[in-house]
Amino acid sequence: MNDNHAIDYARYDHIRPIRWTGDALELLDQRKLPFVVEHVLCSDSDAVAAAIHALTVRGAPAIGIAAAWGVVLAARGLDAGDGAAALQALEPAMARLNAARPTAVNLAWALARMRGVLAAAGSDWKQVLALEAQAIADEDLAANRHMGERGAGLIAPGSGVLTHCNTGSLATAGFGTALGVIRAGVAQGRIARVFAGETRPWLQGARLTVWELQQDGIDATLVADSAASHLMKTGAVQWVVVGADRICANGDTANKIGTYQLAIAARHHGVKFMVVAPSSTVDMGTAHGDAIEIEQRDPGELFGVGGVRTVAEGIQAWNPVFDVTPGSLIDAIVTEKGVILDPDVAAMRAAFGG
């Protein structure tokens, strides 16, 4: 297939982590993949908040979509004359949803959208809420497909790519961000080899990314995180393609821990580095990466693999969830609004204002 051929999305995009039934929200339980494919049924907003906190659903765009449907569930049984009155009543539920993963930019962004339409709604406010939640999901899928084609267009035919964490259909409404670029690149014949880092300590690459690509018939080779530099040295990789949790006004990008060291290794080996994320992930109000609070998780996550302890008792551990890659190490930021090459303050302002 050449790059002028339309992408067969039905072939390259099978998985949907979020399903709205009309009465409840079904979330694919990502904690149990790849060996158990099971959905968790959420019938109220607190169940959605609990699922977000427990990583049943994960990935910044997917969390935002789930939270939007959580607001719809919170509205069930609420009697309010108009959207403004409903907004006041729903605020505690929205606060609980936001607190489930407070550092996820898309979560707060999606809740802000729900607040905005609610404030302006009349007596049909429940319908307005449901339409907005669906719009957030539909727009995410459309944006991912658009980003996939834009990003793939930067990659020369026959290239090898390395990705980190999981940025695919599991983390979004579908198709994915960085994995969307990989899907589009494979469909267009631009990407010949796909490598995925295992992504300790939660192993999103090992448990989720290679499984997800397998569902779409895309061959992927799993590598240990510590093998990435050696892999680049062999010449097998021409691009590192990753997602983002927050992109600052100067192009500095927060992403899953381990991304920064990939960018350093890529620059040393002459490998290009691409960040792929929707514009909702761009935070022009944060000047640079040093201003980002890095979330810390339970150090105990480092003490074992798959529930089996591998570390002696009494050992201390440090477990940051994210790191920040300087914009100076990024060759391209790809959003649905366009591609920013060699991002800096001027390029980011030209693309996003502020």
The token pair that represents 199 in the structure block: 């992504």
Cβ atoms 274, 242 nearer than 8 A: yes
CB of 155 within 8 A of CB of 238? Answer: yes
Active site residues: 245
Tell me 156's DSSP state: P
Decide the pairing of beta strands 221-223 and 191-197. parallel
Give the list of residues 6+ apart from residue 56 with CB closer than 8 angstroms, or none. 27, 29, 30, 31, 40, 50
The C-alpha atoms of residue 247 and residue 283 are separated, in whole angstroms, by 6
Cα four-point dihedral sign 269, 163, 228, 325 = positive
What does the block give as tokens for 106?
């898309």
Per DSSP, what are the bridge partners of residue 197? 223
Return d(Cα 187, Cα 282) in angstroms, integer. Answer: 28
Give the span between the Cα atoms of 138 and 18, in whole angstroms: 12
Q: DSSP label at 6? A: P
Report the alpha-carbon distance of residue 185 to residue 155 in Å, rounded: 8
